[in-house]
């Protein structure tokens, strides 16, 4: 099999950009990616790729069979958009109010469809089976889309041995693949703390148990967990991001609600932090005469873990691509649903930079002005192709 596919990828790059723009113009939120899934399935079928629709909801699978039918490589892309009002001013801006591809999943789908097209032209030469996994609901943060797809057999028939995926990022310059062995992204746990005190008149705080005052103490205690109760050598983020209480300037309320996030790169630390919050917060609230109920989101994504040996091989593959550089990075404290696939099939997740100061492409993912540098999407497509044609 040929070692360089850049000419074929470049020949199809305008189609990849066209697909990306179609999806960008018609973004769909988690679990509602109906038109996106239809477009994906039609493109796969047009390339003569065996296709399965409705996997775990709106997920789509494609499969090409290689010489060794006992080995299967999975290539994964997510496809949902975010509840963001687009402000890019692009001619193909979102036509759906308050829905935007502000994280780049439109580009992820387009690049993987481009890879599927190129690989389909070489189906007789493939060393392994290649399964194309188009996943919904990555942005959900809880159940997500990977878990329903796994339950629906996405990694079976044929069984996926290794899985790979990439994510475009606005914080990394163009021309760079950013990668890391081991834990590359965090487990994103959400917490909810319901504080109950005793309300009353704002002029008589001594006759109340002020939940806002108690909440202030709880927030300080939460932020102290990192510096005073956990190992200083392990990354940990605890952020309170939502505080709700009260109705009027002269009424001390009865209740207060705190919501926030915990980010860890270690499963043992993850359990330890949640345990500490679960015991410390109610106890501290009680010391002020209030009560506090702590709960955590069910089914939060696990740590995204790159198999060290497989990742070293991926680094070697990517390092041979002319015009690109591979940079090993520190872990990112964002979370990713691809982590569930990587728990089942060891592999690698990595990043493709889109930041281009000269072109004004300077916005980070999830920003209302975020967009892709389309000239570099071909390098995402090429990376998929080269990984898939490696003999695993």
Q: Which residues are catalytic?
A: 301, 374
The span from the CA of 138 to the CA of 82, in Å, is 10
Joined tokens for residue 188: 């994103």
Q: If you search the block for the tokens 């994964």, which residue do you land on? A: 76
SS3 assignment, position 338: helix
Q: What is the torsional sign of CA 80, 86, 92, 94?
A: positive
Distance of CA 222 to the CA centre of its chain: 26
Tell me, what DSSP letter sits at residue 254? S
Q: How far is CA 216 from CA 198, 209, 212, 281, in A?
A: 16, 13, 6, 12
Q: How many residues does the chain have?
A: 392
d(CA 116, CA 388): 10
Alpha helices in the chain (DSSP H): 6-11, 13-25, 34-46, 105-120, 146-151, 211-228, 267-287, 308-319, 338-344, 377-388
Which helix (H) or strand (E) segment holds residue 111: the answer is helix 105-120
Q: How far apart are CA 170 and CA 33, in angstroms?
A: 24
Is residue 146 within 8 Å of 84, Cβ to Cβ? no
Decide the pairing of beta strands 291-296 and 200-201: unpaired
- Residue 31 CA to residue 98 CA, distance in Å, equals 16
If phi over 0 gives left and psi between -120 and 50 gives alpha, with beta otherwise, what is residue 89? Answer: left
């Amino acid at each position: 099999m040929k070692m360089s596919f850049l000419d074929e990828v470049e020949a199809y790059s305008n189609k990849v950009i066209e697909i990306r723009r179609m999806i960008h113009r018609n973004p769909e939120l988690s679990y509602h990616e109906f038109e996106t899934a239809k477009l994906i399935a039609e493109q796969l079928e047009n390339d003569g790729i065996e296709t399965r629709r409705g996997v775990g909801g709106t997920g789509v699978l494609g499969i090409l069979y290689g010489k060794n039918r006992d080995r299967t490589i999975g290539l994964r892309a997510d496809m949902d958009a975010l509840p963001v009002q687009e402000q890019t001013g692009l001619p193909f801006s979102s036509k759906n109010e308050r829905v935007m591809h502000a994280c780049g999943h439109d580009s992820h789908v387009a690049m993987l469809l481009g890879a599927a097209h190129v690989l389909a032209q070489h189906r007789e030469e493939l060393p392994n089976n290649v399964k194309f996994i188009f996943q919904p609901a990555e942005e959900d943060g809880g159940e997500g889309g990977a878990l329903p797809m796994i339950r629906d057999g996405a990694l079976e028939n044929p069984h996926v041995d290794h899985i790979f995926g990439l994510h475009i990022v606005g914080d990394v310059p163009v021309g760079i693949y950013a990668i890391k062995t081991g834990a590359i992204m965090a487990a994103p746990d959400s917490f909810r703390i319901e504080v109950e005190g005793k309300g009353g008149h704002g002029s008589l705080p001594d006759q109340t148990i002020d939940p806002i005052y108690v909440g202030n103490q709880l927030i300080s205690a939460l932020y102290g967990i990192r510096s005073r109760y956990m190992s200083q050598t392990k990354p940990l983020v605890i952020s309170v991001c939502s505080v709700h209480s009260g109705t009027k300037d002269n009424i001390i309320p009865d209740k207060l609600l705190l919501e926030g996030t915990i980010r860890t790169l270690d499963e043992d630390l993850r359990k330890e932090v949640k345990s500490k919050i679960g015991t410390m917060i109610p106890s501290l609230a009680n010391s002020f005469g209030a009560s506090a109920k702590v709960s955590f989101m069910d089914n939060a994504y696990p740590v995204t873990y790159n198999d060290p040996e497989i990742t070293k091989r991926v680094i070697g593959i990517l390092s041979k691509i002319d015009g690109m550089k591979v940079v090993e990075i520190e872990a990112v404290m964002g979370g990713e649903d691809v982590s569930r696939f990587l728990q089942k099939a060891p592999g690698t997740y990595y990043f493709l930079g889109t930041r281009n100061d000269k072109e004004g492409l300077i916005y980070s993912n999830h920003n209302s002005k975020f967009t892709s540098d389309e000239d570099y999407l071909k390098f995402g497509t090429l990376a998929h192709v080269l990984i898939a044609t490696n003999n695993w």
